[in-house]
């Protein structure tokens, strides 16, 4: 039964391509794995191999034809024992346009087969293995390593005969390979998206599309803060405070000093909050949640630590109440435990700011003209430019840095540092630049 050769899809998004060149002519015998033609897409020139054997009876789309639609008939193969009479009545309508020359007469047949045509790249890049899809499929099913096979096809391509020869040679070259589809993509596991993950995706997409982000980064010396934490923990029996607990308190105090950063965009007005409700990003099995340590500016480090531990435990158990994770006036995302040296976070609207806290790392620094070692940590503030300008963001980070590097101020409840008095100086310096 005559076999139609169709224009193949060389990628999941391909709709048409150019038939550059036929490597077989009418009347030539065709074997499995042989290259029939070269096809050009907007990304690469590819070769088309045949899986079926027979004789190339008709070339429907001549070489040089552009804009050949996927699945358009480009040629016909007659199987062994068939002659030209089998082509009578076949429908081989081609959607190729434009053609450089008139296509041959259209033969017809009642119910032709369709050839399985396999695309492969025409060039070998680096150490990448080039093999026909049929050869890949046979090798995958047999657990055979393609890298151990010498190809006999054009440009060293591995074809069906090469794989069969390797299988007959014994199991020495065999190893398990991950199955791939016709476009070379590996097999996969489908993971359904939870409702929480859908909400997270929607909110983050909305944030990046509608909120004009800008980013400010400052580096803080952490040695005094780490010493303070160690001293606090030494006085406790069954409780321990974390660096994050201290940073929550520091952010709350910095927001007291720079209240313009403790704000939210509401469309036609800005809300400037009087309490510092700090949302803390927590990764859980079902997504990412931001439980809120409320009124952190009025709480001690130990009170913040207790609240945070309780909220994180409820978050991981999926037992947070809506009012415990919806809202907040400012967010913190701490990735320091993963060793990240620098990153930025996406704003949690309608909040105006989120602080990305990186890992603390010992680094060489200049201290009073001498080289010394200090523990440094980068903090990057993501800012909604509709609410907070660069000067305000810089003032907040300067206030935070002063608190971190002078942590005794963090311990004192409702402490107002000297940053308020320094704000005009900071603005003056920024204006000068």
**Residues recognised as catalytic:** 385
Whole-number Å distance between alpha carbons of 132 and 157 = 7
Going by their DSSP bridges, the two strands 353-357 and 330-334 should be labelled as parallel
Nearest to 351 by CA among 369, 323, 332, 375: 332
Going by their DSSP bridges, the two strands 213-221 and 370-384 should be labelled as antiparallel
Whole-number Å distance between alpha carbons of 339 and 165 = 50
Place of tokens 């840095």: 401
Whole-number Å distance between alpha carbons of 297 and 262 = 12
Two structure tokens written together for 23 = 């490597």
Exposure string of 289-306, with b = 16+ CB inside 10 Å and e = fewer, is bbbbbbbbbebbbebbbb
Going by their DSSP bridges, the two strands 287-289 and 292-293 should be labelled as unpaired
Whole-number Å distance between alpha carbons of 239 and 249 = 17
100 to 64, 67, 69, 71, 92: CA distances (angstroms)? 7, 12, 16, 20, 18
């Amino acid at each position: 039964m005559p076999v139609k050769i169709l224009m193949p899809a060389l990628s999941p998004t391909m709709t048409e391509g150019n038939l550059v060149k036929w490597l077989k002519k009418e009347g030539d015998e065709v074997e499995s794995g042989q290259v029939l033609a070269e096809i050009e897409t907007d990304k690469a020139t590819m070769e088309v191999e045949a899986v079926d054997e027979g004789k190339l009876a008709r070339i429907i789309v001549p070489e040089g034809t552009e804009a050949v639609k996927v699945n358009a008939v480009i040629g016909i193969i007659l199987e062994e024992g068939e002659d030209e009479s089998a082509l009578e009545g076949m429908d081989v309508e081609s959607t190729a346009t434009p053609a450089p020359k008139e296509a041959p007469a259209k033969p017809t047949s009642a119910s032709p087969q369709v050839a399985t045509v396999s695309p492969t790249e025409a060039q070998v890049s680096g150490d990448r293995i080039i093999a026909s899809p049929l050869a890949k499929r046979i090798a995958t099913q047999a657990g055979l390593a393609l890298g151990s096979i010498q190809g006999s096809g054009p440009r060293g391509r591995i074809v069906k005969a090469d794989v069969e020869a390797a299988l007959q040679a014994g199991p020495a070259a065999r190893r398990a390979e991950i199955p791939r589809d016709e476009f070379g993509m590996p097999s996969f596991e489908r993971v359904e998206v939870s409702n929480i993950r859908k909400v997270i995706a929607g909110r983050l997409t909305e944030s990046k599309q509608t909120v004009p982000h800008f980013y400010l980064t400052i580096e803080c010396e952490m040695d005094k803060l780490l010493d303070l934490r160690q001293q606090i923990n030494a006085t406790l029996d069954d409780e321990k405070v974390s660096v994050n607990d201290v940073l929550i308190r520091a952010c709350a105090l910095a927001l007291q000093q720079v209240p313009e950063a403790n704000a939210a965009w509401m469309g036609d007005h800005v809300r400037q909050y009087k309490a510092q409700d700090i949302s803390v990003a927590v990764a859980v099995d079902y997504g990412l949640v931001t439980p809120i340590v409320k009124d952190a500016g009025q709480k001690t480090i130990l009170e913040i630590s207790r609240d945070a531990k309780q909220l994180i435990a409820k978050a991981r158990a999926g037992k947070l109440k809506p009012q415990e994770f919806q809202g907040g006036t400012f967010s913190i995302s701490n990735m320091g435990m993963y060793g990240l040296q620098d990153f930025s976070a996406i704003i949690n609207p309608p909040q105006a700011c989120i602080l990305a806290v990186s890992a603390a790392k010992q680094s060489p620094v200049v201290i009073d003209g001498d080289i010394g070692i200090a523990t440094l940590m980068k903090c990057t503030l993501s800012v909604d430019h509709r609410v907070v300008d660069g000067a305000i963001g810089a003032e907040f980070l300067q206030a935070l840095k002063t608190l971190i590097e002078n942590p005794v101020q963090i311990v004192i409840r409702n402490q107002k540092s000297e940053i308020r008095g320094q704000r005009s100086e900071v603005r003056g310096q920024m204006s000068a630049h």
